[in-house]
A and B are shown apart, each in its own frame.
Chain A
Amino acid sequence: MRPKLVAPAWPETARLDAPAKVSGSAEYLDDLPEPGGCLYAAAIRSDRPHARVRSIDISAASGMPGVEAILYRDRLFGVNAGMRIGEDAGEGAVARGEQTVLSTCAVRFEGDFIGLVVAHDQRAAQAAAASVRVEYDDLPHVYTFEEAMAAGAPLVHPELGSNVAYEDELAWGDVGEGLAQAAHVVQGTFFGGHAFHRPIEPATSCLVIPQGPELTVWASAKMAFGLRDQVARALGIEPASVRVRIPYIGGGFGAKQITPAVICTAAVSRALNRPVKYRATDLESFRVTSRHAITYRARAGFDRQNRMTALDVELELDTGAYFTGARIVTHNACISAWGCYRIPHFRVWATAAYTNTVPAASFRATGKNQTTFGIESLMDVAAHELGTTPWDIRKANVLTRGEFPAETWLVRGTPYVADVPPIDTDFTELIDQAMRGIGWIAGNGVTPGDPQPPAVAVDNPQPDAHVVRGRGIALSLRHGTQGGGRAHAMVSVSPRGVVTVHHNAPDLGTGVYNVLAIVAARTLGVEQSRVTVGHPDTANGMAFVGTIAQRTTVEMGNAVQEACRRLISDLLDVAADVKGGNRDEWSYANGVLSRGSEEYPFELILASARATLPVSMAAVGSYGYAPSEDRAFGGLDHWAPGAAAAEIEIDRRTGEVRILRYCAVADAGMALHRTSSVRQVEGGVVMGLGLALYEELHYGHAGLENGDGWGYRIPTAADLPEELKVILVENCDGPGPFGSKGLAQTSLPCVTPAIGNAICDALGVRITTSPFTPERVLTAIQENTMAVTSQYPSSR
C-alpha cells in the first residue's frame, strides 16, 4: 500500500467548465456549427420485436423532396453491413449474437436498425424514413429471462440453437461444505428490471465532415478511439483516416455506446462527400441501449456467532437482443455478488440470456446495482432471522482494512491466484458515519449497537396512525478499474505561460476537464486559471479507452501528472541550456525555475529559448496497470467503497414512500475538487432514487410500452430527500493523483437496498422487486407477504 498522505489545503476554485455551462456557451454536439451543404440523417428502425424482413420498399421515400440518399441492405454506401459491433465475446461466450452494422434479414427488438435516410433537412429525413415500407414476417418473441429459458422458447438468434448468451462463474472455498457448517441458512431472491440511462442529451448523435480522404467524426461518445476504429473497420479504411472529436457531453451513465446509426452516417457522408448530421430522437434514445434485468437468488449460511460461512448465488441476466454488454455486465455482476463480506466459501453462477428487448450494456455501476440490492437485502434478512441488528451483522462480517476476499479463486473452474489489493477502507467507520448522518445514532463514537431514537421532526409535525417510518443501511464495494490499456496525456506549456492538457477523456458532465486541470495545476504548482483543457481529439494521438467505469480520475489523472513531471524535468534541461550551470543545480517549484539566487518563471525560460525550441514545450505521460493473470479482478488497483443510510416514511393507505433523510458516505481517497465530488455522490443518489422508486422499462402487448419521455420519468429536484447528506472519507490512500480514488459509482448501488431495507423496517414486509412503486408497496401491505408479485413484468 502506498504511504498515507496528508491532504494539502489547496483552495478550491470554480469548476473549469462552470462559466461556459452556466452562460450557455459550452458547445454540445447539437451546438456545433453545421458546415455549408450539411445533410441530415434519420434512422429507419423496426417497429416489431422479432420478425424476418421480407422486403424493404424505398420508392416512396426516395421520391420525397430533399432526399439525397437511403442506406439499407440493397444500397450500402461502402459500409460493411455484416460487421459486428460491440465487445469481444471472450472465452466464456456460449454463443455469439452480436449486433451488426445493419439488420438485413431479421429484426430482434423494437428499434433494431434497418437503415438511414439522408436529406436536406431533419424533417424531410424523418418523414422519408417514416415512409420507407418494410414488410415483415412476424416471429414469436420473448421479453423476460424466464420466457427465454423456457423449454421450446422462440430463439432470438435461431442459428445459435439457444437463447443462452453467456455464462460465468466465480468461486472460492467449497460452498457446499460452508453451507453444511452453517447453524442457520437464509435465502432470498431479488430482482431489478430493465432501465434506461436517460441522459439529457440524445443517446447517440454525430456530425461527420469529410475533408479530402479523411473523415472527421464529431460524436457524443465516451470512447474516442473505439469509435474511430469501428468506423474505420466498417468503411474499410485506415484508422488514421478517421479523426474523432468529442465536444461536451450531456450525460452518459453508460448510454453513449458506439451505434450502427453513427457508423452508417459516416458511410453516407464519405460516399456523398458531404457533411451529414445525425441526432437520435427521444424515442430512438430509449431503443439504443438499456440496463440488464437481473435476478439475484442466494443462500447464505451463518454460524452461531452470526459469521457468514458460505454464500451461494445464482444470477439470471436478461441481456436483450444482442451480445452488446453480456460479457462485461455478467462478469461484473459475478465479481460483485459477494458484496464486501468475509466469506470462507463462495460461489456465483451467472447465466445471461437473449430476449427481444433493447440490447443491454453498460449502466453506471455496471452489473453491481442489482447484486448490491441482492446481497444487502440478504444481510438484513439474516439480521432479522438471527435476531441481531442490520449494523451488527454487517460489522461482524465486513472485510476490514488489509484483508483480502480470498487468496485464490476459480473462474469458470480455472484456478487463479487472487491479484487484488487488500481492502483499503474501514467499513465500520463508514457504517457509523452513514447512521449518524440520518440521526439514527447520535454524537460521535456512539456504539451502533445501542442506537438512540432518531430526531424525527422532519416536516411532518402531525404524522397519523396510517403513516409508518423505517430506516435502512446498505454497503457497496465497487472495484476500481480494470483493463482498457494505458492512458496517455500530453501537457504543453507556452512562452505565454499557458498550460494545456491534451487528452481523450470525454467529459460526460462529471467534471473530467476540471480534474485534469487541477492535477496539472497542482503538479506544476501554477494557478489553475493558467491551465486549459482541450476536448478529446484522436488527432492528438493520446490513446485512452474512454471515460468509462470510474477510471478517469485515476488513470488519466496519473497520466497527466506524469506528463507534468516529465515537463518539469525537460524545463530543468532547458533552464540549464539557456541560463547556464548544470542541470542538477536547477530546481523547479510553483512555476519558477531557480538556481541559487536566480529565479525565472518557466515562461521566461521558454521565451529565452525561442531560438532553439519550438513555440511551446510538451511532454507525454501515461498510466496503466501491470498485466495480470487473474481473470476475476486482474488489474484492479483499488476499491471504491460506499455506505448509505435512509429514513423513510410510508403512507399505508396509498403505498407512497417519502424519503425523509438520506446519507451517502463515499471513500474518495482524496477529493480533488470537493464540490464536484459531493455533487457526483449526490447525483448517484438521485439516479439511485429513480431506480429504487420509479424507473423500469415495461414490455407488454404493445412492446416497449413506456419507451418515451412521457412514460419513463426520472426524479427531479422536487423528488429529492428532504435531507440529503454526503460525507466524503479522505484518507489520501488511493492510487490516483494525490491519493485520489474513483468515486462516481460509490453511491448509486446503495440506494435501492438502503431504501428497501428501510421499507421492510417500516412495514415488516420485504419487497423483493425493485423499483418500490406505490403499487408494489401497497400490494405488499395488503398481502403482507415476503414475496411480492406485480403487474410488471407480467411473468414475474
Chain B
Amino acid sequence: MRLLRPATITDAVHHLNNDRDGSLLYAGGVEVALGLRSGALTCSSLIDTKRIAGSYGISAIGDEVRVGPATTHYMIASNPLIAAELPLLGEACGHLGTVRIRTQGTIGGNFAFAHPHTDPGTAAQLYSGFVDLISGSGPRSVSIEDFWTAPYTSACRRDEIIESIRLRPLGSGWIAVHERLETVHRPPTAIVCLAARIADEQMLECRIAVGAVPPHPLRLRSLEMSLAGAPVDDIDSVVAKAIPDVAQAVSAQSDLLGSADFKVAVLTGLIRRAADLAADRSRHATIEDRA
C-alpha cells in the first residue's frame, strides 16, 4: 500500500484519477482505519488530505462561514467564530464520539462517510449552505440538503474530493438547540437540531433537522410549517398531531438501538424537549443563545 501526501488539491485529484478504484482518501482516518483493519475496505494507495493547502481552517467569507474539510471536530467545537455564527455545529462536534475521535476525526471525513448517526451533518442541515467538490472534470457545489442520499452514501463521487464546506449563519433572533438520546456510548438513537424565532410566547419560525433515525440527516419541512405561528403552549399538541407525518418522513428501521416505533417516539419527544428549551431560552435570551 502506498501513502501519498499531496500538497495541493490538484495533485490530490491527479492521484485519485490515476488510481480511481484502488485509492482511498483519508484525513483523520477514524473510519478508514477501522474499515481497513476489518477488511471492509481495501486499497492500493492512501491519499492523505491533511497537507492540502486550504484543507484546514475556519473563516468568514462574505455572509458564509467556510470550514476546511480536514478541520477536526475538536477545532470546530472550540472555535470562537463557530461559537458565534454556527453554534449548533460547534455543539454537535463537541458531542460527537469520544475525545479521541473528536481530536482525530475531521468534518470532511464525517460528511464523506455519510454515517446516518452524524451529529455535525444533522446540525449542518439547519444552515443553508453548500459542499464544494472537485474532480478531474472540474468543481461543483451541492447544497447541504442534497448532499446525503442514503446511509453511507453521499453526492460525493468516488473521483471527487471535498474542497470546502460553506454554511450560512441563521442570523439574529434565532435560538438553536441540539438534543440527542445516547446510551452507553453507542451511536445516538436519535438526534434533533432545532432553531426557532420566538416572540411573545409564539413560535414565529422554526427549522428542524433530524438524524440517526432517518437514513440520512434531513429537515422536517412539514412540521416546521405546522409549528410556524403556533403558540408555545401548543407545541406539544402540534408535534403530537404530526407524529404520523414524521414517521413517514424518517422511515425508521428497527435495529439494536430500538424498534422503529420507539425511535419515532423518541424523535418527537426530543423535538418537544428542544422546542421547550428554545422557548425557555427565549424568555432568558442572552447573546450566547443567539444563533
* Chain A residues within 8 Å of B, Cβ to Cβ: 462, 464, 466, 651, 653-656, 690, 693-694, 698, 705-706, 710-711, 713-716, 718-719, 773-775, 778-779, 782, 791
Contacts and interface: CB of A to CB of B under 8 A. Distances in A.
B269 A706 contact: no
B185 A774 contact: no
Contact of A782 (B186, B265, B276): B265
Given A651-B269, A791-B254, A656 B184 contact: no
Contacts of A464: 276, 280
Nearest to B276: A464
Contacts of B265: 778, 782
Given A711-B256, A778-B262, A791-B258, 4 more contacts: A654-B181, A655-B266, A656-B181, A710-B186
A694 B184 CA distance: 7
Task: Identify the interface centre among A462, A655, A714: most chain B CB within 10 Å of its CB.
Answer: A655
24 contacts: A464-B280, A651-B273, A653-B269, A653-B272, A654-B269, A655-B266, A655-B269, A693-B183, A694-B183, A694-B184, A710-B186, A711-B256, A713-B183, A713-B184, A714-B184, A716-B184, A773-B183, A774-B189, A774-B266, A775-B259, A778-B269, A782-B265, A791-B258, A791-B259
B88 interface: no
Contacts of A782: 265
B18 to A, nearest CB: 30
Contacts of A713: 183-186
A706 B266 contact: no
A654 B213 CA distance: 14
B218 interface: no
Contacts of B133: none
Contacts of A466: 272-273, 276
B27 interface: no
A62 to B, nearest CB: 22
A715 B269 contact: no
B270 A654 contact: yes
Contacts of A719: 184
Nearest to A778: B265
Given A654-B266, A711-B256, A782-B265, A716 B185 contact: yes
Interface string B230-271: 000000000000000000000000101011001001100110
Contacts of B273: 466, 651, 653-654
Task: Identify the interface centre among A653, A655, A656, A791: most chain B CB within 10 Å of its CB.
Answer: A653
Contacts of B181: 654, 656, 774
Contacts of B276: 464, 466
Contacts of A774: 181, 183, 189, 258, 262, 266
A694 to B, nearest CB: 5
B265 to A, nearest CB: 6
Contacts of A656: 181
B184 A779 contact: no
B266 A778 contact: yes
B262 A775 contact: yes
A782 B259 CA distance: 15
Contacts of A715: 184
A653 B275 CA distance: 12
Contacts of B262: 774-775, 778-779, 791
Contacts of B269: 651, 653-655, 778
A706 B186 CA distance: 12
Interface string B99-129: 0000000000000000000000000000000
A719 B184 CA distance: 7
A778 B262 CA distance: 8
A653 to B, nearest CB: 3
B279 to A, nearest CB: 10
Nearest first, the 5 A-B pairs at minimum CB distance are: A653-B269, A713-B184, A775-B262, A654-B269, A775-B258
Task: Identify the interface centre among A466, A715, A774: most chain B CB within 10 Å of its CB.
Answer: A774
A773 B276 CA distance: 24
B256 A718 contact: no
A714 B185 CA distance: 9
A286 to B, nearest CB: 14
A693 B184 CA distance: 9
A654 B273 CA distance: 9
Task: Identify the interface centre among B254, B256, B259, B270: most chain A CB within 10 Å of its CB.
Answer: B256
A134 to B, nearest CB: 20
A260 B4 CA distance: 46
Interface in B35-93: none
Contacts of B184: 690, 694, 713-716, 719
Contacts of A791: 254, 258-259, 262
Nearest to A654: B269
A655 B259 CA distance: 14
B92 to A, nearest CB: 18
A698 B46 CA distance: 37
Nearest to B34: A710
B182 to A, nearest CB: 10
A462 B183 CA distance: 23
A655 B261 CA distance: 13
A690 B256 CA distance: 16
Nearest to A771: B183
Nearest to B268: A653
A782 B258 CA distance: 16
Nearest to B270: A654
A357 to B, nearest CB: 17
A687 to B, nearest CB: 13
Task: Identify the interface centre among A654, A715, A791: most chain B CB within 10 Å of its CB.
Answer: A654
A714 B265 CA distance: 25
A283 to B, nearest CB: 11
Nearest to A716: B185
Nearest to B254: A791
A655 B267 CA distance: 11
A698 B256 contact: yes
Nearest to A776: B262
A718 B181 CA distance: 14
A718 B266 contact: no
Contacts of A710: 186
Interface in B171-196: 181, 183-186, 189
A404 B258 CA distance: 46
Nearest to B189: A774
B151 to A, nearest CB: 16
Contacts of A694: 183-184
A40 B266 CA distance: 47
A718 B270 contact: no
Contact of A705 (B189, B256, B272): B256
A111 to B, nearest CB: 18
A654 B259 CA distance: 13
Contacts of B280: 462, 464
A505 B264 CA distance: 51
A654 B256 CA distance: 17
Nearest to B284: A462
Contacts of B258: 773-775, 791
Nearest to A718: B185
A656 B258 CA distance: 13
Contacts of B183: 693-694, 713, 773-774
Nearest to A791: B259
Nearest to A779: B262
A653 B256 contact: no
A89 B256 CA distance: 36
A779 B280 CA distance: 28
Nearest to A700: B256
A706 B185 contact: no
Contacts of B266: 654-655, 774, 778
Contact of B256 (A462, A706, A714): A706
A779 B269 CA distance: 13
Nearest to A467: B273
A645 B276 CA distance: 32
A653 B185 contact: no
A782 B256 CA distance: 21
Contacts of B189: 774
A52 to B, nearest CB: 30
